[in-house]
Amino acid sequence: MTRTEAGRPSFRPAGGDMVSGQPNELISRDAERFGSFAAAGGWTFGLLVARSVTKDDPAGAVAEGKVSAKAFAEHAGCAVGRVDRHWKAWQAAAADGLVPDAATLAPGAEVDLPEADVWPGYYAAPGSSGDKGQRVVAEAEAIGASHKKALEITGHRPAMRAAILGDRLTAEAAREALLSRPEERDATLARVLADPDARRAAKAGQRRADHLEYVSRVLDEGTAKTPGGQVVSLALSPAELSDERLARVRSDEPDEPGGDAVEDAYEFVRELVDRAVRSDPDAFVREQRAKFTRTLTATSRNILAIDPDDLVAVADETLLERLVELQARVNDLAATLRAVGV
């Protein structure tokens, strides 16, 4: 790009030859319009409306060269509401002294425009005037998000659904937002409790979250809790730390849809914990004792819960045989412990 004698830019094509005549002027004009919008953003459109449209006296404005918002919109090929929003934004800024009042501007007038990032504070995006729009704007402002983007999303629900289904982080944001609304949280929980598939999915999701937390704590603290409740130290070697199963968990998205990265890492860590326990004789004994205690406690609890009267009412030979076998097994285990002097 070079400069002409008048100071305007002149454009060369990729080959380097000068472009002369009408195309040169068209490109220059487009570049100037592009530059003005890049610098002032929506203020550029606001000025076009403010200097061309009158809202107070459309009939008397004809002599001044101004037109109604409806006539301007028809000529522009857009909705009159869009023109109205730009006019109102300009007048709001005029009330704050940022720009001249629209009534003082004639068609073709040029004024210094504020910075582009000031415009969103005055321009009311479509859908922001009703109660729903005001709530969306208020929520966006509360979290520091763009209210314009938030309002656009409310008008494109199929696109929002596609984003939620296609992107994990978007889905998490949607779930967090829904569960922060009491009525939505209650409805979601009721649906989960009523749907067996949803209950299973919820349990699977919770198990995955627990396993991911377990693995993450091991990586952060270098210790792990055994099934028996012991805390063992895991001095992970460089080779173990660089294992692909742990590396995938440390990534932002450990699982592809349907993937098993978290479970693979969890099983790997459990193997490391089991190895650490077996390498320490005292820890191994404590772990085995805790394991047997859990089993006997659960068995005892289940047997004590049996009501003799209920058992007699339904008992048959099979139940009696199972009970006799269980009694014999308990007697054998007790005899074994007595024989070793426990």
pLDDT at 325: 93
123-131 LR contacts (CB < 8 Å, sep 24+): 123/42, 123/46, 123/85, 123/86, 123/89, 124/85, 124/88, 124/89, 125/85, 125/151, 125/152, 126/81, 126/82, 126/85, 126/151, 126/155, 127/151, 127/154, 127/155
Per-residue pLDDT of the chain (342 residues; tens, 9 = 90+): 333 334 444 444 444 444 444 457 888 788 887 777 777 778 888 999 999 998 865 554 444 688 888 989 999 888 888 888 889 889 888 988 889 999 899 898 989 888 877 777 677 655 555 555 566 666 766 677 766 677 667 666 787 788 888 888 888 888 888 777 777 777 777 877 788 887 888 788 888 888 888 888 888 888 888 888 888 888 777 777 677 777 777 665 555 544 578 888 888 888 888 888 888 899 899 989 999 999 999 999 999 999 999 989 998 999 999 999 999 999 999 999 899 887
Euclidean distance between CA atoms 336 and 342, whole angstroms: 9
CB 49 within 8 A of CB 83: yes
What's the distance, CA 199 to chain centroid? 23
pLDDT at 331: 93
How many alpha carbons fall within 13 Å on the CB side of residue 303?
12
What token pair was written down for 263?
């479970």
pLDDT at 195: 82
Angstrom distances, CA of residue 295 to CA of 290, 303, 322:
9, 12, 18
The single-letter DSSP state of residue 6 is: T
Number of helices followed by number of strands (H, E) in the chain: 17, 4
Euclidean distance between CA atoms 187 and 179, whole angstroms: 10
CB 38 within 8 A of CB 79: no
Angstrom distances, CA of residue 37 to CA of 30, 42, 116:
11, 7, 8
Phi/psi region, residue 84 (left: phi>0; alpha: psi -120 to 50; beta: rest), is alpha
Euclidean distance between CA atoms 208 and 215, whole angstroms: 11
What token pair was written down for 170?
């978007």
Euclidean distance between CA atoms 101 and 98, whole angstroms: 9
Phi/psi region, residue 108 (left: phi>0; alpha: psi -120 to 50; beta: rest), is left
Euclidean distance between CA atoms 230 and 179, whole angstroms: 36
Euclidean distance between CA atoms 40 and 117, whole angstroms: 8
E strands, 110-269, where?
223-225, 231-233
CB 133 within 8 A of CB 55: no
Euclidean distance between CA atoms 262 and 250, whole angstroms: 10
Supply the pTM of this predicted model.
0.41
Q: What radius of gyration, in Å, describes the C-alpha atoms of the chain?
A: 37
What's the distance, CA 65 to chain centroid? 51
pLDDT at 272: 85
